[in-house]
Amino acid sequence: MILKNYQQKALDILKDYLRELERVGTKYAFMGITNQPYNAEFFGDVPFVCIKIPTGGGKTLVGCNAVNEIMGKLLKHKMERGIIMWFVPSEAIKTQTLRKFKDRNDWHRQILDEAFQNNVRVFSNEEALRIRKEDITDNLCVIVSSLDAFRKEKTLQNKYKVYQENGALLSHFENITESDGLELDEQKTVINSLANVVRMSNPLVVIDEGHKTKTQLSIDFLKELNPSFVIEYTATPRGGSNILVDISASELKEEQMVKIPIVLESATQWNNSVARGVEKRNELEKEAKKLKGEYIRPIALIQAQPKSKTSPSVTVEQIKEYLLNAKISEDEIAIKTSERNDLEGIDLFSKKCKVRYIITVSALAEGWDCSFAYVLISVANVGAKIAVEQIIGRIIRMPYAKRKSNEDLNRCYIFASARNFNEAATQIISGLETNGYSRFDLLNSSQKEQKYELEIERAVKKDFAAPMVSLNGDKLSFEDLIGEDFELAKEDANFNFEIHYDNDGRAVIDIKEDKWIKGAQQMLKLTYKDKNFTKGELVQWLDKKMRFTILEKSDKVKFIDKAVDLQLKKHSLSELSVNRYLLMDKLDKVINGVLQEYARKRFDELAKKGAITTKTFDSFPKTISIAEEVPQDFNKNYYKKIDKLNKEELSFVERLDLDTLPNIDFWIRSREKKDPFYIQGWQKNKFYPDFIAVTKKGAVVALEWKGEDRISNEDTAYKVKIGEMWAKLGKGKLHFFLVHNKNTEDVLSELKSL
């Protein structure tokens, strides 16, 4: 499963955080990655972070990949064993999540199986009441539970099975030497409960829709489960969440995951809203039939009002009657309410399915997903207390995650019954925000020029492509530097590797002065015995865990095999097996070091031969999508608006934009991994300078802004080297500057002369 760019970005940031967490601890790791303060109020020393992804962005998929990273880096002492508590907000989502996790053909389960060698067991909280001790010590056990199953008041805990004495769990409590942190009965005896089994395992806690755990009651019960790490996924983080990753709606749009903008039309009379919604759905189906290679049958969701004894309401039955009178066939209409479910067993994606209209009240709020849903018709009078928030999320997903040739099929539509547009918009915007979107994602259908505010056009009419590092007329890549003749197996595979272990076959947390020492909440009552790996199994495990797409598998395996043989002269196979995560980290650094050194030498050789030059390739696009516009205009910006900047960067471009630099024709804020220009050096990662300025004489200037704390680090030194190398290749037409607070005036002065 190839991840979308924003999904990979989320995982990359998490990896950086885990790396820093081991080095400097929970608080400073978070602050270093995000430049934001860390809130330790809820869980103290236990890491607690939030991944913010709008509805439709695949939060569960990111969550499964994140489990692998957390278990393999921070919680490696668990030896890929123990409990993951996966909390969901409702029974509907619980059923959906369990279905994904138990189906071995589902992507989510396949990610877990591949990461943990098929040693994965999945339980509902009810099934976990019979979980065996060997299930936990021999497997990674994922317990999927609604929040309500655990978060009850202590006075009511005897009514909830997870807190009850349970004879089926007796083996978990045999020979325990201490009861700190475990719940005791009135006789001060440990209760043989599922909650206590979870506490002993120091679980990794995953919270889906984390904003629904905002009550103190929810936080308290999570804290009492004695977690080793807490990670939440949500479109709308609550106050107090430590937002490690913040994915914007425009990032989902760029990846063709969602149908935005949303077009809103309001009408005073409910039947007018329905009529317009039916008309739009029919228009979309005509356009969908013109698509080549894709089958789409646009569906309209119609939100009725609940029956009321005190006031007139537009009910499900009334809407169905209206549709039938409009000559819509009955087999095209389905009803999904708490009392009736016509969608049971229906495959809405099937070409044989005829359903085009689904009437509901709020039963589609959770656990339902169909990307064919394009139109939401709300007759519920959006000004009333009928929530449309979650139903909005049902029409946002893009069919097949692929942009359509007809722009109308890249949008979704809401027809609302309201006194006026503003009344409707206020409620709809609230619903968008609940799903991680914003007012910018909403359009008024009455406007003749319907433009998406976060899709920005060029202010400069002429095309522009910045010269890039080239090899033999093509863009230089890291793969080019390694080439086809490189053989890793011939490289030196010897390295120093220190072992940290004890004799009972359990990994021990490495305690050094420069390492973070886990807080008191981690009890490690369970001993996770490691199975005895053969040498072949260890090599196979290392090969699977270390992904180097640039290398031939057989070549990589030969190198790993050679490296293991050399380590077996110093350590036993058992020692290497128990410490395989540490060995993997070391091997990964060794291989990357070998590749980088080889690439550097090849780069120098090719440069001396004159094979490395510069050449223009792709032009900057005519339109871009931004996450959040800077609310001010610029005179020389290549685009009409600019994406958000930090205060120092904004201050710099304001100076760059002034008339005091009359020779500047235009400048561009270059976006990492989104825009076409980058500088490729001998390291794997591409370097995207923050800004590009073009002078009236045709000079192209790359500008990299750095905060004072990062001016002299290793990464900056490398960027300066390859930036200056790129400039040198330009033979006087290209220029590179590292800019920071202390040299801004000098850089601006030099720019005037170009």
pLDDT at 528: 57
Instruction: Inform me whether the pLDDT recorded for 518 exceeds 50.
Output: no
Domain identity same for 580 and 692: no
Q: What is the mean pLDDT of residues 402-411?
A: 91
pLDDT at 671: 87
Instruction: Inform me whether the pLDDT recorded for 64 exceeds 60.
Output: yes
Least confident of 226-230, 488-492, 709-713: 709-713
Give tens-digit pLDDT for 551-568. 999 999 999 999 999 999
pLDDT at 603: 94
Domain CATH for 310: 3.40.50.300
Domain identity same for 576 and 641: no
As a whole number of angstroms, the distance between CA 737 and CA 724 comes to 8
CB-based contacts of 659, cutoff 8 Å, min separation 6: 635
Residue 208 inside a domain? The answer is: yes
510 confidence band (pLDDT: 50, 70, 90): very low
Domain identity same for 241 and 280: no
Q: What is the mean pLDDT of residues 100-114?
A: 94
Domain identity same for 128 and 175: yes
Domain boundary among 183, 217, 247: 247
Pick 321 or 306 by higher pLDDT.
321
Domain identity same for 199 and 54: yes
Residue 610 inside a domain? The answer is: no
Domain identity same for 129 and 231: yes
Instruction: Inform me whether the pLDDT recorded for 673 exceeds 90.
Output: no
Pick 627 or 383 by higher pLDDT.
627
Cis amide leading into 261 (omega within 30)? yes
E strands of 598-717, at which residues?
612-615, 623-625, 664-669, 691-695, 700-705
For tokens 């909390």, name the residue: 87
Q: What is the mean pLDDT of residues 67-85?
A: 90
Residue 473 inside a domain? The answer is: no
Q: What is the mean pLDDT of residues 597-604?
A: 94
For tokens 């668990």, name the residue: 78
159 confidence band (pLDDT: 50, 70, 90): low
Instruction: State the DSSP H helix or E strand holding residue 96, giving kind and residue range, or none if neither.
Output: helix 91-102
Residue 478 inside a domain? The answer is: no
Domain identity same for 125 and 217: yes
Residue 505 inside a domain? The answer is: yes
pLDDT at 211: 60
Domain identity same for 260 and 242: no
pLDDT at 637: 93
Domain boundary among 247, 276, 311: 247
Beta strand pairing status for 82-88 and 468-471?
unpaired
As a whole number of angstroms, the distance between CA 94 and CA 130 comes to 19
Domain identity same for 302 and 419: yes
Q: What is the mean pLDDT of residues 632-661?
A: 87
Query: Could you tell me the pTM of the whole model?
Result: 0.84
Give tens-digit pLDDT for 389-403. 657 778 889 999 898
Instruction: Inform me whether the pLDDT recorded for 232 exceeds 50.
Output: yes
Mean pLDDT of the chain: 86
pLDDT at 449: 62
Instruction: Inform me whether the pLDDT recorded for 522 exceeds 50.
Output: no
pLDDT at 387: 55
Beta strand pairing status for 664-669 and 623-625?
unpaired
Q: Which domain holds residue 556?
A: 485-520+530-598
Instruction: Inform me whether the pLDDT recorded for 78 exceeds 50.
Output: yes
E strands of 512-653, at which residues?
612-615, 623-625
Q: What is the mean pLDDT of residues 349-374?
A: 82
Pick 179 or 137 by higher pLDDT.
137
Residue 604 inside a domain? The answer is: no
Residue 697 inside a domain? The answer is: yes
Domain boundary among 409, 433, 453: 453
As a whole number of angstroms, the distance between CA 625 and CA 606 comes to 37
Domain count, the chain: 4
Residue 480 inside a domain? The answer is: no
Q: What is the mean pLDDT of residues 108-117?
A: 93
Domain CATH for 633: 3.40.1350
Least confident of 176-185, 347-356, 663-672: 176-185
Domain identity same for 744 and 714: yes
Domain identity same for 213 and 259: no
As a whole number of angstroms, the distance between CA 305 and CA 292 comes to 39
pLDDT at 463: 93
DSSP 8-class letter at 339: S
Q: What is the mean pLDDT of residues 732-749?
A: 91
Give tens-digit pLDDT for 576-585. 888 888 899 8
Q: What is the mean pLDDT of residues 113-120?
A: 92
pLDDT at 413: 93
Pick 440 or 204 by higher pLDDT.
204
656 confidence band (pLDDT: 50, 70, 90): confident
As a whole number of angstroms, the distance between CA 251 and CA 610 comes to 39
120 confidence band (pLDDT: 50, 70, 90): very high
pLDDT at 212: 60
Identify the CA nearest to 298 among candidates 366, 357, 257: 357
As a whole number of angstroms, the distance between CA 494 and CA 69 comes to 27
Domain identity same for 205 and 235: yes
Least confident of 198-202, 437-441, 586-590: 437-441
